[in-house]
């Protein structure tokens, strides 16, 4: 038996970790869709686009050298700007 995973066992570890992380990603996507559908009774057909946009944002943050610990600060700034620009939390003002 001349399988590559027996010659290079690190490939088996890498393949296992890739599978686990991909499963976690699919679970998070499904959880977001189920949460919105269950709470608001609205099927969000833009869920895939939001997931891809988040992936691009994470990729370009990685390329630009922004450290991962700075991410909550960035999202806090985005939320604060949105909150201020949309009439200090008045949702009707923002989406009319």
Residue 11 has pLDDT above 80, yes or no: yes
- Total-model pTM: 0.54
What is the reported pLDDT for 31?
87
Residues 18 and 54 in one domain: yes
| Burial per residue of 42-59, b for 16 or more beta-carbon CB atoms within 10 angstroms, e otherwise | eeeeeeeeeeeeeeeeee
Q: Which domain holds residue 18?
A: 1-65
One domain, residues 61 and 83: no
Q: Report pLDDT digits (tens) over 62-91.
A: 888 877 666 666 666 666 665 666 655 555
Stretch 39-45: mean pLDDT: 80
Number of domains in the chain: 2
- DSSP secondary-structure letter at 70? G
Question: What is the pLDDT at residue 39?
Answer: 83
Give CA separation, 62 vs 16, 56, 75, in Å.
24, 10, 15
């Amino acid at each position: 038996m001349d399988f590559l995973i027996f010659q290079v066992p690190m490939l088996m570890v890498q393949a296992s970790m890739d599978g686990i992380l991909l499963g976690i990603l699919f679970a998070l996507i499904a959880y977001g869709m189920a949460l919105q559908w269950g709470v608001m009774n609205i099927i969000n057909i833009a869920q895939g686009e939001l997931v891809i946009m988040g992936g691009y944002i994470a990729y370009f943050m990685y390329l630009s050298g922004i450290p991962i610990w700075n991410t909550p600060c960035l999202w806090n700034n985005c939320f604060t700007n949105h909150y201020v620009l949309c009439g200090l939390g008045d949702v009707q003002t923002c989406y009319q």
